[in-house]
Amino acid sequence: RALSAMPDSQRSALRRGEFGFVFQFGQLVPELSCVENVALPLRLNGVRRKEAETRALAWLERLEVADVRAKRPGEVSGGQGQRVAVARSLVTNPRVLFADEPTGALDSLNGERVMELLTEAARETNAAVVLVTHEARVAAYSDREVVVRDGKARDMAGVR
């Protein structure tokens, strides 16, 4: 589908339903609890609150942060918050998950755990992950690597 030919409403629906996003600093809504943050994409798609929160809680459990479901983002650690953000990105079962420096704000232990859970969940749901990182240890989780330097892209398939 040509995105430029789609009306705004269709592009918005595509972003809400088929794409998931994980940002470096989570970008969680501070006024909402963690479970409400994860449920938010479902609610925006018209899913009833109880169903959305049930599905959100299932993802929080899978990502080992169900214990923070009632807390607000400012009340949880960076690693917990990033796992909540990963849960939010996966709750709609997206076809493509975009992750921009998903471990950049985390210590190495939490970063490794987030990457393990992110890749495991993406494989289970058959989602493609487009990962942007400056860290070799994070890039190592990828099946394919494209390096961008000085505005030029180079596919590293077979180079490793």
Give the pLDDT confidence score for residue 56 in this predicted structure: 98
φ, ψ at 120 (rounded to 5°): -65, -45
What's the first-to-final CA gap in the chain, in angstroms? 33
In this prediction, residue 159 carries a pLDDT of 58
Residue 65 lies in a domain: yes
Contact criterion met (CB below 8 Å) for 49 and 39:
yes
Residue 4 has what DSSP assignment? G
Structural domains in the chain (count): 1
Question: For residues 2 and 40, what is the distance between their CA atoms, to the nearest angstrom?
Answer: 27
Residue 3 domain-assigned (yes or no): no
What's the pTM?
A: 0.83
Find the CATH number of the domain harbouring 71. 3.40.50.300
| 37 occurs within a structural domain | yes
Residue 9 in domain: no
Query: Is 50 within the bounds of a domain?
Result: yes
pLDDT tens sequence for the chain (160 residues)? 788 899 999 998 888 889 999 887 779 999 999 999 999 999 999 999 999 999 999 999 988 899 999 999 999 998 899 889 989 999 999 999 999 988 888 888 888 888 888 888 888 888 899 999 988 888 888 888 888 889 898 888 755 5
Residue 6 forms part of a structural domain: no
The reply to whether 1 falls in a domain is: no
Residues in the chain: 160
The answer to whether residue 160 is domain-embedded is no
How far, CA to CA in Å, does 112 sit from each of 82, 106, 117? 12, 9, 9
Domain of 145? 14-155
